[in-house]
Amino acid sequence: MYDDAKLEDEAGRVAALSRYHALDTAPETELSQIVGLARDVFQVSQASVNLIDRHRLWMMATAGAARAECRREDAFCDHTIRAAKPMAVPNLLEDERFRDSPFVQGEAHMRAYLGVPLTSPEGYNVGTLCLLHTAPRLFTATDADILVRFSELVVSQLEMRLIAQQDELTGTLTRRAFLQRLDGALASPDPFALVVLDLDMFKAINDTFGHPVGDIVLTSTARTIAGQVRSGDAFGRLGGEEFGLVLAGADSRDAMALAERIRAHVGAQVIAETGRPVTLSLGVAVRTPADDRTSLLLRADLALYEAKHDGRDRTVLARGVEATC
């Protein structure tokens, strides 16, 4: 189940986690049912599915506690993902690694822990399924084996969730999944930018070469764009030949630079089936405090329209939200 060679590959592990697009998402019934069942089976105070990025642990699903996050260095589960087997701690207060933890000394008053890694199909430990109890407890090898089976259900659910969110043709996020990511970004106070882009003259490609070639152009272009997108960004197909990007932490300079880099890379690729490159028009809108989903998409769409109107194969930065009202 575990791949020892990948335990030290933190960059690969974070990339495997990013593949799921699961951080900071809304509660999901299927995972809530799994942790609820685990809590009942083991008769513990708390069970949770936890995802661990570079700096924090985030509870994707919990039973017995509210969803929350903590610093990675404070998480028992940080030790679990670094190992090739489950980790059991019968008394956290007697373990020098954990006795001073805020979850031991603080109001949570946790005393026993059992955790197993959530191992992706690529062999990376992207998070954990863990049990916590407010009294010391000796977890058995059978307990660990059963929890491993539960963790396999969690990973299967994450994989099915990923498949449901992927556009069948291009492998990007579906429109629905992309808009969910956009809503999540809007719910956070952190800055970001939205890019809406469109393949120029795509109808002419379909009319001249046929829809199968048009599909090849779409998949090739999407693959080129994906190669330029950062792991924390969202890339989705909004419909037809139109795509969207949510650029985490980007200001106008960052967003324009990335948009222009994408435009240049796509324009430099000659599609073998057509013998010609594809060009893109892009609209960039930086999130403002006044934006909601509708206004932000509208500003990006208007910038895209301006890029098309001005001759295509260019990037336009949207004006402020007040200009669209």
Distance CA 178, CA 187 (A): 14
Q: Considering the candidates 10, 28, 241, 306, report the single residue annotated as catalytic.
A: 241
C-alpha closest to that of 284 among 310, 312, 253, 313: 253
Q: Which residues contact residue 126 at a Cβ distance below 8 angstroms, ignoring those fewer than 6 apart?
A: 13, 16, 17, 20, 51, 52, 81, 118, 119, 120
At 98, list the tokens: 């954990």
Catalytic, 241? Answer: yes
Residues 6+ positions from 318 with CB-CB distance below 8 Å: 283, 284, 285, 286, 299, 300, 302, 303
DSSP tag of 22: -
Alpha-carbon distance of 46 to 64, in angstroms, equals 5
What residues are annotated to the active site? 241
